[in-house]
Amino acid sequence: MTVEELKKQLKLLGAEYAKIKTLPPEDRKTFGEEINKKKQALLKQIAEVEAAAESADITKIDLTAPFPVNAEYKTQKFGTKHPLSAEIDKIIDIYSHMGFNVIESRQLDDEFHMFDSLNFSKGHPARDGYDTFRTEEGFIPPAHTSTMQHRALKKYKKDLENGGNIAVVIPGRVFRNEDVDATHEHTFYQCEGVFVSKTATLGQMLGVLKHFFEVYYGEKLRIKTQPGYFPFTEPSLEILIEKPKSLGGKGDGWLELLGGGMIHPNVLKAAGIDPTKYKGFAWGGGIERLVMMKYKLNDIRYFESGKLDFLEEF
Ligand code: FA5
């Protein structure tokens, strides 16, 4: 029976309800129950026939049929991946090939992950340095992806216990109360790296980063460090890369793209990792500045502008 026929029967059944009133009171209950039963059976049958028709439709799709490239299709505009998303995919790809796990950061975090877990003591002036936004409830849109270090350490701690290492990268969106200009945004992306083993060294971190930059920019380049300060690393470094020659560098220009260092023992301890047995290094850098270099962009504000003429260039 077709759905139409079944629905017709359902309608006829509706008319039966009117008869109830004409029956002697003692018969009404059984009569009502009978109609309800029939109604339920019909509804079930309708659902079954409809479901069968739907799956039959799917099997009718010819997957080998040519895509309809008509005039309308040719003039239609299609969306594309945002350039930052596309570059983040490439960044993740490079680190994945080096054996790093990937976790995503979050866009709202708390005081513990933003400060306490990162060895900022209460009232430490470096807390103000991050000049973060806060919601009325006291949550914090993270000012850097380091807010994820504690979670990453805890999540992969079992890898250490099983004789392996912790190796994670964490791309994410961050927010700062910033005076915006061509190289400073209030909303931008960072990529964090966290590595822990029995024998981790700063030399290994610089090796990982050098390899990353060479793959990302597709040429050999030098990196150098200068002293920095972060409460969650000791020693702390700022890491600079030589401006790639393909982008007009002559071996004399340096760009500061990252902060990093050896993970502070208190940060390891807070995540339940014994700093007398394990050592780690971590780094974090801005993604827009990396991408700006690659595509010779002179203003960071294009990324969040939503301007189609900019987006269509990618
Ligand atoms: C940090 O954010 C630390 N969390 C980095 C770190 C991670 C240190 C792990 C130690 C261990 P800093 O505030 O310097 O550090 O920012 C790191 C990078 O983010 C900068 O080098 C820059 O590339 C980028 N960045 C910072 N502020 C902005 C901004 N307003 N707009 C665009 N990029 C920015």
Between β-strands 101-102 and 166-175, what pairing exists: parallel, antiparallel or unpaired?
parallel
Name residue, tokens 């394990």. Answer: 278
Q: Is residue 123 part of a domain?
A: yes
Compute the distance from residue 258 Cα to the ligand 1 centre, in Å.
6
**Ligand 1 centroid – CA 101 distance (Å):** 21
Tell me what percent of the residues of the chain surpass a pLDDT of 70.
96
Q: What is the mean pLDDT of residues 192-201?
A: 98
* CATH code of the domain in which 255 resides: 3.30.930.10
Same domain, 220 and 149: yes
pLDDT of 194 reads: 98
The reply to whether 263 and 220 lie within a common domain is: yes
Co-location of 19 and 94 in the same domain: no
| Pocket lined around ligand 1, Cβ cut-off 6 Å | 144, 146, 176, 178, 184-185, 188, 190, 192, 230, 233, 256-261, 282-286, 288-289, 300
The 10 Å CB-count burial string (b at 16+, else e) for 91-110 is beebbeeeebbebebbeebb
115-173 per-position pLDDT tens digit: 999 999 888 887 877 768 889 998 999 999 999 999 999 999 999 999 999 999 999 99
Q: What is the pLDDT of residues 21-57, one digit of tens each?
A: 888 888 888 988 999 999 999 999 999 988 888 777 6
Count how many residues are written for the chain: 314
Residue nearest atom 14 in ligand 1 by C-alpha distance: 259
Give the closest residue (by CA) to ligand 1 atom 31.
Answer: 184
Q: Of the candidates 43, 58, 73, which is a domain's last residue?
A: 58
Buried b (16+ CB within 10 A) or exposed e, 261-300: bbbbbebbebbebeeeebbbbbbbbbbbbbbbbbeebeeb
pLDDT of residue 306: 86
- For 256-298, how does the pLDDT look when each residue is reduced to its tens digit (9 = 90+)? 899 999 999 999 999 999 999 999 999 999 999 999 988 988 8
pLDDT value of residue 253: 83
68 located within any domain: no
Residue nearest to atom 10 of ligand 1 (CA): 260
Verify that 154 and 34 share a domain, yes or no.
no
Q: State the residue range of the domain holding 92.
A: 83-311
Whether 221 and 307 share a structural domain: yes
Residue 35 and residue 93 in one domain: no
The stretch 182-188 carries a mean pLDDT of: 93
The answer on 216 and 91 residing in a single domain is: yes
Which ligand 1 atom is the nearest neighbour of the CA of 256?
21
pTM for this prediction = 0.78
Quote the pLDDT of residue 130: 78
Domain count of the fold of the chain: 2
Domain-embedded: residue 209: yes
Is 94 domain-assigned?
A: yes
Domain's final residue, options 24, 42, 58: 58
